[in-house]
Amino acid sequence: MPNDDIDTSNLESLETYRSYNRYFRQAEEAKNKRVWWKTYRKRVDIGLPYCRPSRTKVVKERRQAMSENKRNVELERASRLRTLKIPLDQVQETWEKTGGPFDIKKLADHYGVFRDLFPMAYFLPQVTLRISYSQDTDGQVHYGNQLTPTEAVSAPRIAFDAEENSLWTLLLTSPDEHLLDNEAEYLHWLVGNIPGGAVRAGEELCHYLPPFPARGTGFHRYIYVLFKQEKPISFREDLRPSPCHSLVDRTFKTVDFYRKHQDDMTPAGLAFFQSQWDQSVTNTFHNTLNMKEPVFEFIRPPVYHPPQVKYPHRQPLRYLDRYRDGKEHTYGIY
């Protein structure tokens, strides 16, 4: 343990530092010394290796771009007249290539994605996933945005940048949805051996199942994880029956799946959204999963009123108020 080599019974015999510089130097050496208690709770990076660009090159390119912009007469005039338009597509592309993966990792840590899917591990999402459930921007999956189960009722369109001969595996899971085991997940979609970026051309191991957050359990996380394969993989043990409407067959653990294939695949991309109960979840439980819908909140029944009688006897003066249509009363207003 730390400071085991210090004899606390005879502190006067300890050598003094005599100067702050000597103390600072020895403190830095002690801080950088490799000891077991510093690595006991350390997380492991299981992602693709990140090649950090040269700081000198980045600063040089930035200064060159700034000097070119200052010499651009049309750009200066548009800025002065407040008609300058910034292309957001280029801003998005620059962000994805520079600080985007680090921002996504921070968001994933904030939402507990790595903690629940890959205990004691993490990765840097270097491949950007573009997932859309609809034609407009409202149905896109980002990093923790909210979508309703109705919006995510069918499989989305997925795109990502990939080499021509590369192979990928796409996974959709929910760590908050399991009804019996808090440590388990429900598998919503699994596609392996995806050639390039064509998800539809991959091997569908488990067909898509829409989100079904139980009523009264709040928001659930639904996480897309993209793995890059080193070679074609045989997913015979991970193949589910088609159609797979059994929650027992869909019980899943991402960390066990990764450990099984960790020699042949590496996590590279990440996207996730949140969803809570709406009316389509009832339809999923009854018609798709063929089971009763679990409810974890009290549904207050409507107030019971006995049938109205034409001549109420010994009833209060406001007897008729309970049989009105619920609209605001207008009697007595002149």
What is the full DSSP assignment across 102-141? HHHHHHHHHTTHHHHHSTTEE----B--EEESSSSGGGEE
Are 321 and 305 within 8 A, CB to CB? no
Task: Provide the b/e sequence for 156-165 (b: ≥16 CB within 10 Å).
Answer: bebebebeee
In a domain, 41, yes or no: no
Same domain for 79 and 189, yes or no, is: no
- pLDDT of 186 reads 96
Are 255 and 175 within 8 A, CB to CB? no
In a domain, 121, yes or no: yes
Q: Among residues 30, 64, 85, which one ends one of the domains?
A: 85
Q: Which two tokens stand for residue 20?
A: 């702050």
Q: Among residues 33, 65, 85, which one ends one of the domains?
A: 85
CATH number (domain holding residue 222): 3.90.280.10
Name the 3-class secondary structure at 238: coil
Phi, psi of 13 (to 5 degrees): -80, -5
Which runs of consecutive H residues, i.e. helices, occur in 158-284?
254-261, 279-283
Same domain for 267 and 125, yes or no, is: yes
In a domain, 148, yes or no: yes
Same domain for 247 and 98, yes or no, is: yes
- pLDDT of 334 reads 46
In a domain, 302, yes or no: no
Q: Among residues 32, 62, 85, which one ends one of the domains?
A: 85
Same domain for 73 and 159, yes or no, is: no
pTM above 0.95, yes or no: no
- What is the rounded distance in angstroms from the CA atom of residue 104 to the CA atom of residue 119? 18
In total, how many domains does the chain have? 2
Same domain for 187 and 152, yes or no, is: yes
Are 185 and 174 within 8 A, CB to CB? yes
Same domain for 73 and 98, yes or no, is: no
pLDDT values of the chain reduced to their tens digit, one per residue, 334 residues: 556 666 667 766 666 666 778 788 888 888 888 776 666 667 889 999 998 888 899 899 999 999 998 899 999 899 899 999 988 999 999 899 889 999 999 999 999 999 999 998 999 999 999 999 988 778 899 999 999 999 999 999 999 999 989 999 999 999 999 999 999 999 999 999 999 989 999 999 999 999 999 999 999 999 999 999 999 999 999 999 988 999 999 999 999 999 999 999 999 999 999 999 999 999 999 999 999 999 988 777 888 888 888 888 888 888 888 887 766 666 555 4
Extended beta strands in the chain, E state: 44-45, 121-122, 130-132, 140-141, 143-146, 157-159, 167-174, 185-195, 203-206, 220-229, 251-252, 265-275
Same domain for 60 and 158, yes or no, is: no
In a domain, 126, yes or no: yes
Same domain for 66 and 156, yes or no, is: no
Same domain for 185 and 277, yes or no, is: yes
Same domain for 270 and 173, yes or no, is: yes
In a domain, 108, yes or no: yes
In terms of residue numbers, what domain contains 78?
A: 51-85
Same domain for 62 and 124, yes or no, is: no
In a domain, 7, yes or no: no
